[in-house]
Structure 1
Amino acid sequence: MTQHSETLSPDQLTTAVDQVIQTRKSVKVIGDVDNIPDIPDGFFEEVQAAMKVAGWAPFHYTAHTSHLDRDMDSPVPWRFYALDQKNCLRLIDALMDHPELGLNKNVAILRMIAAYGALVLVTWLPEPETGNSDEEIARIADKNEEHVAAAAAATQNLLLAATARGMDSYWSSGGTLRDKVSFEICQIPLQERLLGAVFLAPDMPDREGVRPGKWRDKRGNPEQWMTSVSI
């Protein structure tokens, strides 16, 4: 899927970046747990490549040392947990094995997991809640706000990298995937927080159950969200 080319000129690079940003769109698919789509060989490798480049997002504060005592010990304040199609299907079965969650095959989140070729759970790494004074509590809140912003930037990078590779994508808040049970199944440390669940699929325009993003064409004109400041 990935196309390698010679280094682009500044004008070509600008055009390519602008096109990827404007082409990216939310593609929500409500599938069928009993009717799994065929995913081409090599798709998950493309997902992994997109995650690697997505990691070049900006961040202000490094992750707290309490998050760095495991294999993934990067100082960036986010983590990606990726499931290929096989493990997405195992996740569905594992979630339904927990009756306290009240899930069945008709629940939307499970049908979404079944509809795509991969799932990336993006977490952000909060500061320990050790503050006693108002000043310390405010400092921790400030750092957490920066961590969320950095993780969101990495998530947007992932969506753009996926778009550049011809993938459909959907950024979900996660629903049940935010629960402790889901974290334990996916081997995510419980002190992390889910920023979003990114569903990825190869471009399949003829799929049933596709729901376009409801806000894409309602964002208004640029003049409604940008202005030039004169002082």
Structure 2
Amino acid sequence: MSLRHDPARDRGSLRRFSRAERWAHRATAVLMGVCVLTAAALYLPVLAQLVGRRALVVTVHEWSGIALPVPVLVALGSRAFRADLSLLNRFGPHDRRWLAAALRRDRRPGSRPAHKFNAGQKIYAAWAAGATLIMLGTGLMMWWTQIVPLEWRTAATFIHDWLALTLGIVLAGHVGMAMADPEARRGMRTGWVSRTWAKQEHPLWEPEPERRVHQGAERHDTR
């Protein structure tokens, strides 16, 4: 008999992410990490000399960049993933309140109302998706030397390099914030978070199964 703890049986936990979402996040993180590390090995002389084999590093960088959208495209087959994308794409009055409080560094209880995703997470997701597409497009323009004119490739190189630097800084901030929130990391690692954390950090979030129960009770009361 297995003694491993089953979070689904813990009434103090809520399901936050499905298996498809967690694997999509992990695969994307690995591919992004490879892109960042190989880019650093290509552009920093110290790392370039340490790693060597520039042609191999270029190949790994190119193919990891091309594969970067694949985990998200595969995860689109998951209903839970599509539902969370829909939530990330909505920006309501409570998100503006959250953002205003964050800019003021206001941490008072109730000052940062958030649904399943807060305003900062929504902005980061939108920015990361747009930056990834631009990086992919400019990278392909740099790769297709026989098709794309030199002027276009020069502009693409400029955009690609500076956006890569910006992306690295933003990713470092994302990792730093994740390291400061163990419960959020547990949610991405196991799919489950504590109800206490959810109520504190995402007070407007009501998981789907509970929402159905509440709606059924309301319909019953009106009869």
Give me the TM-score of the superposition, normalised by structure 2.
0.25
Q: Which has the higher contact order (CA 8 A, sep 6+)?
A: 1
Q: Which has a greater percent of helix? A: 2
Bigger Rg, which one: 2
Give me the TM-score of the superposition, normalised by structure 1.
0.25
Q: Which has a greater percent of strand? A: 1
